[in-house]
Copies of this chain bind each other. A is one copy, B any other.
Amino acid sequence: MSKIISMHYEQGVLKLIDQRKLPGEFVYFECRTYREVEFAIKDMVVRGAPAIGATAAYGAILAARQFMQECAGDRKSFLRKMEKALDFLNCSRPTAVNLMWAVKKMKDCLAENRDASDDTLMAAVEQLAHDIFNEDRDLCISMGKHGNTLVPEGAVILTHCNTGALAAAGPGTALAVIREAHNTGKKIQVYADETRPRMQGGRLTAWELMQEGIPSKLIVDSTAATLIRDGKIDLILVGADRIASNGDAANKIGTFMLSVLAKTYNVPFYVVAPVTTIDFEMEKGDEIEIEERDASEITHINGIQTAPEGMEVYNPAFDVTPQENITAIVTDRGIIFPPFNEGIAQLKESVQ
Contacts and interface: CB of A to CB of B under 8 A. Distances in A.
A217 B314 contact: yes
Contacts of A307: 23, 194, 199, 202-203, 206, 218
A229 B256 contact: yes
A334 interface: no
Nearest to A160: B222
Interface string A201-238: 01100110010000011111111111001000000000
Contact of A196 (B196, B225, B260): B196
Interface stretch (A88-96, A104-112, A269-277, A296-304): A296-304
A199 B307 CA distance: 8
Nearest to A194: B298
How many copies of this chain? 2
Interface in A300-315: 301-302, 304-315
Given A203-B306, A256-B229, A314-B217, A196 B210 contact: no
A264 interface: yes
Interface residues of A, number: 50
Contact of A313 (B219, B313, B314, B315): B219
A298 B195 CA distance: 11
B210 A222 contact: no
Contacts of A218: 298-299, 307, 311-314
Nearest to A221: B222
Contacts of A261: 257, 260
A210 B311 contact: yes
A152 interface: no
A316 interface: yes
Interface of A: 23-24, 191, 194, 196-197, 199, 202-203, 206-207, 210, 216-226, 229, 253-254, 256-257, 260-261, 264, 298-299, 301-302, 304-316, 319-320
30 contacts: A23-B307, A24-B305, A194-B196, A196-B220, A199-B306, A202-B298, A202-B299, A202-B307, A203-B308, A217-B313, A217-B314, A218-B311, A218-B312, A220-B253, A220-B298, A221-B221, A222-B222, A222-B257, A223-B314, A223-B315, A225-B256, A225-B257, A225-B319, A226-B316, A226-B320, A257-B261, A260-B264, A301-B301, A301-B302, A302-B304
